[in-house]
Amino acid sequence: MNKKTLFLFLLIIVYHVAYSQISPSEGNKINFRLIGFSFPAMKKVNNYTVEIASGNYNSEDSFKNNIASTLKSETNRITGEVPFWGSDYTWRVAYTGNDSKITKSALHHFSTIFPHSLDTGKFRFLITTKAKQFKDAFVFLDAGRALYDMEGNAVWYLPNVEGITNERTSVRDLKMSPQGTITFLVGSRTNNTAYEMDYNGKILWQAPNNGKISGDTIEHYHHELTKLKNGNYMILASDFVPLQWRIFSPKDSGLFIASSDSTKPTIRTTNYEKSPFGTVIEYDSKGKIVWSWKSSDYFKGKDLQNHITLEMRKDTVDDHENAFFFDEKNSIIYLSFKNTSVLFKLKYPGGELINSYGNTSWTDARPGSSPVFCGQHGCKLSDDGKLYMYNNYECNIDSVPELLVLQEPDSKNGSLKKLWEYKYPLSDIEKQKKKNLSSGGNIIELPGHAMFASMGTPYSGVFIVSEDKKLLWDGHYERYMKRENRWKEISTYRASIIENRKDLEKLIWNGEQDK
């Protein structure tokens, strides 16, 4: 290779490396307004200024006349916000050297997308109590498929990914992982799949969904996917197990898993169709199963009718496993079952039952009784070891959902102690929504023992409450009903929170190398 060819080769490499460091890249259509601008570093430069103009410009004069904002940084990357969805933008970097000489980059161009659900004339996240604390936080709403600031403005949107997401797909459990990525479930009641995505909309991981645990063609994922601190993924799923009603004598009968062995003679056995039981699956980054647990294994050989009455629907039962929390430090998993109003405490990785909390039978949770929790959701463990949850309290139609903080007993025979509770102030109209059931909801502890919560169906409230029960912030997701000429509240199944701008920047710069 001669010197001229070598020079050209090196020049192409330098050019490629420089432009690969430019973000947003040329002509990129992005799914966020809060943007991480990155660009090549230059020696002997002590200041970088990013200039952003609204519109698509290629001439110096047109660009200069339309500069809308400038961002200053001492490094070659900085975050900034553009005002509108569905708009074109032009930007460049001005490098200020140690000698105060300014060098300007070429003009770069990008645009923001404008999906249907970000049309504020049709959908809105209405903030009814403005934040004074946590005003730099951001909230994911799965109903809106977006990340909002505390004033109700969408700053990021789950983009359409071919073969995975579109405007009609159902999205659940949209949240930020400890590693600065986004995890979520997408699909339908019959077939959900789980994904991990970066801020730019690139799919990083997909759950195998191959039925190795369920024994079916798919795993029947549902409710919750969490990326663990060790980089593995834990998800709720289901397996479908055939049941039998066995009559041993006129006064002795019970519901059993059909596969369980029994030497006890029966008068009659009635077979039922397969019923869903909860599973928990842990995968590594390659989709290999690291660990799993089945509630059906726990119930094998047990009389389901006498041990714990599951909700009966058309000759099937459904324990409705709906939430989990993995205490990685102490190797304990808390597992919530809504239909039985029970919470299991399991030892990891053995899967042994350490304790169970809640009702011993569904009949104990009917109107007129006073269980500690009923139809619970979003159970977690606080930093100081307290159990907390979103309690739908669906066993009593006269009670509204509440947030609970509970002290676990010292012994297996002890009882939970209620330490704190909070009921969101509903209007009379909202109270009437409950009728018979409420479902969904989430709760997350914040600094100072404040609680972030989202109410599930049929409500739409998302709020933060202090330890002394002062409402610090709240809002409602709504849709405009044109025929009725009014805004209607939409339930978000589960919301999550990013506590501050620093944590959000971890999400924005995930995978970026320091330059």
User: Distance between CA 304 and CA 54 in Å, rounded?
Assistant: 65
Mark whether 25 and 100 lie in a shared domain: yes
User: Distance between CA 412 and CA 399 in Å, rounded?
Assistant: 29
Indicate the residue type of 115. P
Q: What is the mean pLDDT of residues 461-469?
A: 97
User: Distance between CA 217 and CA 310 in Å, rounded?
Assistant: 26
pTM of the model: 0.91
Mark whether 172 and 300 lie in a shared domain: yes
Q: Is residue 2 part of a domain?
A: no
> Of 112, 135, 154, which marks where a domain is finished?
112
Which tokens sit at 63? 């660009």
pLDDT at 156: 98
pLDDT for 325-364, tens place per residue? Answer: 999 999 999 999 988 888 999 999 999 999 999 864 444 4
163, pLDDT greater than 90: no
Mark whether 296 and 328 lie in a shared domain: yes
177, pLDDT greater than 90: yes
User: Distance between CA 176 and CA 128 in Å, rounded?
Assistant: 25
Domain range for 46 is 14-112
Mark whether 75 and 120 lie in a shared domain: no
pLDDT at 480: 96
Mark whether 131 and 74 lie in a shared domain: no
Q: What is the mean pLDDT of residues 481-490?
A: 94
Mean pLDDT, the chain, whole residue set: 88
pLDDT for 220-244, tens place per residue? Answer: 999 999 999 999 999 999 999 998 8
Mark whether 94 and 142 lie in a shared domain: no
Q: Is residue 513 part of a domain?
A: no
Q: Is residue 215 part of a domain?
A: yes
Q: In which band, very low, low, confident or very high, does the pLDDT at 312 lie, cut at 50, 70 and 90?
A: low
Q: Is residue 5 part of a domain?
A: no
Q: What is the mean pLDDT of residues 310-314?
A: 53
User: Distance between CA 207 and CA 221 in Å, rounded?
Assistant: 9
Q: The domain spanning residue 356 has which CATH number?
A: 2.120.10.30
Mark whether 284 and 171 lie in a shared domain: yes
Q: The domain spanning residue 59 has which CATH number?
A: 2.60.40.1220
5, pLDDT greater than 60: no
Q: Is residue 450 part of a domain?
A: yes
The residue written with tokens 């808390």 in the block is: 334
Q: Give the other-Cβ count within 10 Å of 256's Cβ.
A: 21
Mark whether 261 and 368 lie in a shared domain: yes
Which tokens sit at 59? 């001439």
> Of 112, 141, 163, which marks where a domain is finished?
112
pLDDT at 80: 96
HSE-up (13 A, CA, CB side) for residue 134: 26
Percent of the chain, pLDDT > 70? 88
> Of 75, 91, 112, which marks where a domain is finished?
112
Residue with more model confidence, 46 or 87: 87
Q: What is the mean pLDDT of residues 154-170?
A: 88
User: Distance between CA 230 and CA 174 in Å, rounded?
Assistant: 20
Question: 3-state DSSP call for residue 242?
Answer: strand
Mark whether 147 and 246 lie in a shared domain: yes
Mark whether 178 and 312 lie in a shared domain: yes
Q: Is residue 330 part of a domain?
A: yes
Mark whether 164 and 250 lie in a shared domain: yes
User: Distance between CA 29 and CA 12 in Å, rounded?
Assistant: 26
Mark whether 107 and 134 lie in a shared domain: no
pLDDT at 2: 55
Q: Is residue 172 part of a domain?
A: yes
pLDDT for 126-152, tens place per residue? Answer: 999 999 999 999 999 999 999 999 999
When divided into structural domains, the chain yields a total of: 2
User: Distance between CA 262 and CA 93 in Å, rounded?
Assistant: 76
From 111-120, 248-257, 477-486, the region with the lowest mean pLDDT:
248-257
Give the bridge partners for 487, in sequence order: 480
Positive or negative: CA dihedral 296, 407, 133, 35 = negative
The runs of H, that is alpha helices, within 144-287 are none
Q: In which band, very low, low, confident or very high, does the pLDDT at 435 lie, cut at 50, 70 and 90?
A: low
Q: Is residue 41 part of a domain?
A: yes
